[in-house]
Structure 1
Amino acid sequence: MFSAAMSSISSSLNSVSTAFCNDFYKRFNQQVADKRLLRIARIVTVFTGLIGMLLALWMANSNIKSLWDEFYRYLGLFTGGLG
């Protein structure tokens, strides 16, 4: 089970860094070298992982009764305009 969770988290982190590099960074810096783009992707992966870990620790130590309700609360903050 640990391996499956680790694989899913790894895929998500790599997807975030790839989307950032290709959709945002490369758009403003078209002449970026592949080696530099790889380095930036690695930095974004580490940064995203640290943010996720801090959010998980915060949620584990706060008085959250239902994680599902908390998820919808924050989802409503960011996607309320779509409704």
Structure 2
Amino acid sequence: MDKIKFTFEETGENVVFCVLGNTQVNEVAYILVVDENEIEDEDMTAYILKATEADDMDIIYEIVDNDEELSVVVPILEKFLDDFEIEL
């Protein structure tokens, strides 16, 4: 399972996320992630991240919180995740 390091802008907190799935919508990359410390939890908190920038070394992601955008991306990601149900 792929992992990424994410830094929350508001707090500066660093978290390592496990990537559960990914998709692309209108040439924008999205990933579904969960904190690596919660990966075994039944009711884990997952986030959908959107790639906003990329350079040779890093991809910059931001958390998707727009309901309209989520309503498009969530059904696509759910198709790839047999054992997961995404609740908004």
Tell me the TM-score normalised to structure 1 length: 0.27
Tell me the TM-score normalised to structure 2 length: 0.26
Could you say which structure has the larger radius of gyration?
Answer: 1
Larger helix proportion, structure 1 or 2? 1
Greater relative contact order, per chain length (Cα 8 Å cut-off, separation 6+): 1
